[in-house]
Amino acid sequence: MKKIKIISIWNPKGGQGKSMLAINLAAAACEIGIKPLVICQDQQGTSMLYYQTGNLPFEVIGDIPESRPNADLIIFDHQASDWEVPDTHLLIMPLKPARDQYATYIDAFKRADKKGREIITVVTDGQTHRASEKSTTEFLREEGAYIIPSSGVFSRAAEEYRTIYDTKLNKAYKIRERRQEISRILGAILMQQSEDTTAGEKTNG
Ligand SMILES: Nc1ncnc2c1ncn2[C@@H]1O[C@H](COP(=O)(O)OP(=O)(O)OP(=O)(O)O)[C@@H](O)[C@H]1O
Ligand SMILES: [Mg+2]
């Protein structure tokens, strides 16, 4: 039986880029022939809405499947205010680097770290003209975080319920750079040694 890699996109703070990462990482997987499945923890959630518009080249479901799904990579898109550290070994934690959002991230990171989770941090939507955000971003970069600069590509994609890999966005400003950033994060996810790739199947992720 082939191994399924399971990851959780988690940050209890709302609006940090969880759903953006979930659907774009899934799209990046499709690009390289890996079959993803997004599990949206919120029936009215953002990634579910994307799926319902019919623009996605992969499936988004609202519940943990009863039987083993036909997928290579399962991505849990967690909802805001979910403070419970997900069960998967690997967590992707997006954050926007403004001060109060950073504080929530640190709090959540500590909880996950205490439970032995491996964490990939992704700074999304940093306003680099703000000194405090810039220094937070630089600090996290040195700690190994991935950085996705603030970009209009994401609001356009969100308005149209598309991923940034959608060919309709091929001419968007700096689209290649943005795709590379997402694909690099996917690369890091796929490189990570799978310690417990079945954990998310048994529990709520
Ligand atoms: N790098 C970026 N540049 C510009 N906008 C971004 C960037 N990353 C994310 N965003 C925008 O931030 C907003 C919130 O993102 P998203 O919905 O993915 O957050 P979330 O963490 O899933 O929120 P919730 O907790 O409410 O589910 C979206 O409009 C998204 O397009
Ligand atoms: Mg969301």
Q: Is 79 in the pocket of ligand 1 (CB under 6 A)?
A: yes
What mean pLDDT, rounded, does the chain reach? 93
139: which residues sit within 8 A by CB, 6+ positions away? none
Encoding tokens for residue 181?
């950033």
List, for residues 13-65, the tens digit of each pLDDT value.
999 999 999 999 999 999 999 999 999 988 779 999 999 999 999 999 999 99
Domain ranges of the chain: 5-195
Q: Tens digit of pLDDT for each residue in 107-122?
A: 999 999 999 999 999 9
Q: Is the CB of 41 under 6 A from ligand 1?
A: no
Ligand number with the minimum distance to the CA of 13: 1
Higher pLDDT among residues 201 and 7, named by residue: 7
Q: Could you tell me the distance, in angstroms and rounded to a whole number, from the CA of residue 19 to the centre of ligand 1?
A: 7
Angle at 31 between CA 24 and CA 144, to 5 degrees: 55
- Could you read off the pLDDT of 183-195 as tens digits, one per residue? 999 999 999 976 6
Q: What is the pLDDT of residue 203?
A: 45
Question: Which of 125, 175, 177 gets mutated to test ligand 1 (max ligand atoms within 8 A of its CB)?
Answer: 125
Q: Whose CA is nearest to atom 15 of ligand 1?
A: 17
Confidence of residue 72 (pLDDT cuts 50, 70, 90): very high
Q: Which of 197, 164, 168 has its CA nearest to residue 71?
A: 197
How far is the CA of 105 from the CAs of 94, 134, 139, in angstroms?
8, 16, 14
Give pLDDT tens digits for 151-180.
999 999 999 999 999 999 999 999 999 999
Assess contact for 50 and 138: CB atoms under 8 A: no
Q: What is the pLDDT of residue 99?
A: 87
Give residue 181's pLDDT.
98
Question: What are the backbone dihedrals phi and psi of residue 17, each rounded to the nearest 5 degrees, phi first?
Answer: 110, 20
8 with 89: CB under 8 angstroms? no
CB 36 within 8 A of CB 69: no
Q: What percent of the chain has pLDDT over 90?
A: 86
Pocket lining: 162 vs ligand 1, CB cutoff 6 Å: no
* CATH number, span 5-195: 3.40.50.300
